[in-house]
Structure 1
Amino acid sequence: MYLIFFNLQEMPFSLTPNTEFYCALQPHNEALKVLLSALSMSEGFIKVTGEVGTGKTLICRKLINHLEDDYVVVYIPNSYLTPDELRWAVAAELGLTDDDKLNQQALSQAIEKRLLSLSQQGKKVVMIVDEAQCLSWDALEALRLFTNLETESKKLLQVVLFGQPELDLHLSNPRVRQLRQRIGFSYQLRPMTAAEVEYYIDHRLRRAGVDNKLFSTALCKRIAAASRGIPRLVNTLCHKTLLQAYGDGHTQLKTDYIKAAISDTEDCQRQNRWQRWWPLLVMTPALLAIAGIWLWRQAL
C-alpha cells in the first residue's frame, strides 16, 4: 500500500493490538503499574475499565508479556460465556482434560486440585478476562466462587477484569455486591490529551521506520479533537490520512486529507456535529430567559 511510498517498514496504524507499538503514555503506564503491584500483593480481584478503543486489550497483552515465569495465565478473551462454559475454558487454559463427560462438580474439583498443585510448585495463577462487561450475573458469581479457593495463607487464583464502563454499572448491582467488595484495585483509563496524541503518532511512525515528522503539530491537534483522544480513532484517522496522501502522490500531509479522513469516520462525524451545535444548545436557555424578562417588562 503506502509502505514504500513513505519509507515505512510496517503498518504504523494497524487496529490490531500490537505490543511492539506500545506507547508508554501516562494512563497506560499507570494502569500497568497498578496491575503489577496488585498482582504482587495477591489481591483477589483487580479491575481496569475504559471507553471503547482506549487500549484495554493492548494493556492486557502487555501485562501477560510482563508476567514472569512464576505466573500461570488463564486468558479468557471471550467473556460471553455461561458458568459451565467458563469452567471449561478455565480447565482448558490450565491444561486439564477435555473429557466432556465430567459433570460440573468433578470439573470444579479437578480445577481446584490443579490450582493447589501449581501453588505447591510456587506458581501464581492469574485469570485475565477481557470484555468483562459481557459477563452474565451467573458467570460473575462463578468467578467469585473461583476466588474462594485458597490455602491458609493465600488465594489460589487472582482475577483481572478488563471492561468498558458498563462493567462498573454491572458491578454496582446489589446482587454482585460480594464480588464488588473483593475488588482490591481499580483503574480507569482516560483518553489521551492533545500533547499525548502527538507523541503517540510520532512514536508509532518511528517504530514503523520513519524518522521525519509526517504529521505537524497543527494536524495532530485536529486529529486529537476529532478522535477525542481515543487511540483506536487516532489510528483510523492517521491511516486514512496517509492513504489520501498516497493516492494524491504527496508525501506532505495536508489539512484537507485530515478533513476527508474525519468525514469518512462515522464516530468522528457524530462528535463534529455535536461540536457544531453545542454552543447553540448552551445559549438557548439564556436567550429564553432574556426573552421572558423582556416580555414580562412589556406586560407591566
Structure 2
Amino acid sequence: MTTEALYAEFFGLRERPFNLLPDPALIYWSPQHTRAITVLRFGLMSRAPVTLISGEIGAGKTTLVQALLKEMDADLTVGLISNAQGGRGELLRWILNAFGIEAGKDEDYVRLFQRFQDFLLKEYAEGRRVVLVIDEAQNLSSEGLEEVRMLTNINSNKDELIQLILVGQPELRDIVRAPNMRQLAQRVAASFHLERLDLDRTRDYIRYRLQSVGGTGDEISPGAVDLIFEHTGGVPRLVNQLADFAMIYAWSGEQHVVTPKEVQSVLDDGVFFGDITTGAGA
C-alpha cells in the first residue's frame, strides 16, 4: 500500500484532499471564483474577442480554465497553450500545435499563417467557433501578445473567427494596460482578477476539500487552520502544500486531528518553502 493510500485511509478519506494538481472536481467555488467562471462563460457566450483572467500564483486560475474546458459545447474547437515562449513565428507554431495543425519545420511565417487562416475559415463554415486559451500569458513578450491580438482581425462576414482567453499572473494586466498594448486592451471585453482567500474563506476552503473526499471537515482543527492561513496568506496552492504536509505529520504521529503543533512542526523543519512570513512565498 502506498504512503498516499495509508495517509488517506488513516483519516477515513478516499484520497488526499490537498493534491497540488489542478482538479476541477475539487474546486472550491468561493464567491470570487464563481464570479470568475461567470466572466469566462460570458466572454464565450458574448463572443468577446479577448477575455482576460488574472490572479496570484496558485490562486486557482488554471483550475478554473480546466473547469471551463470540461463544460464547453461541442460546437467549440478549443486550443490550449501553457508557458509559450519565442519570437515572431514561434508563437504561431505553438498555436498550430494546440489545434493539431501540421507545421513543417522549414515553412515560413506567411505559409503557416495562411494554413491557420484556412483552418479558421473551415471551422466557421462547419458551424464551429474557435477558442484559443493561453495560460501563463504574462510570459509572452509584447510582440507575442500583439501577434496574438492580430489573430482577432481575421473575420468572415463581420464575424470574428477566433476568441482568445488570456490567463496569467497580476503583471499580465499591467502589460496589457501599457501604452503600446492599447489595441489589445481595447479588445478585452471581459476580465476578472482573482484575489487571495481571506481567513473565513480559507476555513471554508479547507473544510470543503476535506468533505469532498469523504471527511467530516474537522480533520484539521480551527487553530491549525488559522496557523495555515497566517503562513500562506490564503493562496490556495500554498494552503494545499502546508495542509498536506501537516496531515502527513499527523499521520506519522498517529494523530487523527491536525493541530497547530503539527503545522508548526512542518514550518520548523523547513520542508514548506512557501511561507509568506519569511518572504519565500508567492
Q: TM-score, normalised by structure 1?
A: 0.86
2:76 is equivalent to residue 71 of structure 1: yes
Larger-gyration structure (1/2): 1
- Is 1:94–1:114's contact at 8 Å kept on the other side of the alignment? no
Q: C-alpha distance in 1, partners of 2:245/2:147?
A: 43
Unaligned 5+ segments in structure 2 are none
Aligned counterpart in structure 2 of residue 261 of structure 1, from 256, 261, 266: 266
Residue 77 of structure 2 aligns to a residue whose secondary structure is strand
Taking every aligned residue pair, what percent have the same amino acid on both sides?
Answer: 28
Q: Which has the higher helix share?
A: 1
Change (3 A) 1:272 1:97: closer
Aligned counterpart in structure 2 of residue 94 of structure 1, from 82, 90, 99: 99
Residue 52 of structure 2 aligns to a residue whose secondary structure is strand
Residue number in structure 1 paired with 2:247: 242
Alignment-mate amino acid for residue 180 of structure 1? A
Shift of 1:76: 0.5
- Is 2:8–2:14's contact at 8 Å kept on the other side of the alignment? yes
2:114 is equivalent to residue 146 of structure 1: no
* Matched residues, number: 273
Alignment-mate amino acid for residue 207 of structure 2? D
2:113 is equivalent to residue 108 of structure 1: yes
Residue number in structure 1 paired with 2:9: 4
Aligned counterpart in structure 1 of residue 32 of structure 2, from 20, 23, 27: 27
Q: C-alpha distance in 1, partners of 2:31/2:230?
A: 19
Q: C-alpha distance in 1, partners of 2:119/2:140?
A: 24
Residue number in structure 2 paired with 1:292: none
Residue 128 of structure 1 aligns to a residue whose secondary structure is strand
- Is 1:128–1:159's contact at 8 Å kept on the other side of the alignment? yes
Residue number in structure 2 paired with 1:284: none
- Is 2:218–2:257's contact at 8 Å kept on the other side of the alignment? no
Shift of 1:81: 3.0
Residue 156 of structure 2 aligns to a residue whose secondary structure is coil
2:64 is equivalent to residue 59 of structure 1: yes
Aligned counterpart in structure 1 of residue 277 of structure 2, from 265, 268, 271: 271
Aligned counterpart in structure 1 of residue 134 of structure 2, from 106, 129, 133: 129
User: Which deviations, in whole Å up to 9, do the C-alpha atoms of 1:235-268 show, x marking residues without a partner?
Assistant: 0111111111112111132211122234433332
Change (3 A) 1:44 1:273: closer
Q: C-alpha distance in 1, partners of 2:140/2:244?
A: 33
Residue number in structure 2 paired with 1:181: 186
* Superposition RMSD in Å: 1.8
Alignment-mate amino acid for residue 277 of structure 2? Q
Aligned counterpart in structure 2 of residue 233 of structure 1, from 230, 238, 243: 238
- Is 2:10–2:251's contact at 8 Å kept on the other side of the alignment? yes
Residue number in structure 2 paired with 1:280: none
Alignment-mate amino acid for residue 248 of structure 1? G
Q: C-alpha distance in 2, partners of 1:27/1:169?
A: 21
Q: C-alpha distance in 2, partners of 1:252/1:94?
A: 47
Q: C-alpha distance in 1, partners of 2:279/2:106?
A: 56
Alignment-mate amino acid for residue 271 of structure 1? T
Q: C-alpha distance in 2, partners of 1:179/1:252?
A: 51
Q: C-alpha distance in 2, partners of 1:92/1:129?
A: 13
Residue 125 of structure 1 aligns to a residue whose secondary structure is strand
Change (3 A) 1:117 1:5: same
Q: TM-score, normalised by structure 2?
A: 0.91
Alignment-mate amino acid for residue 78 of structure 1? N
Shift of 1:24: 1.4
Q: C-alpha distance in 2, partners of 1:139/1:236?
A: 33
Residue 159 of structure 2 aligns to a residue whose secondary structure is coil
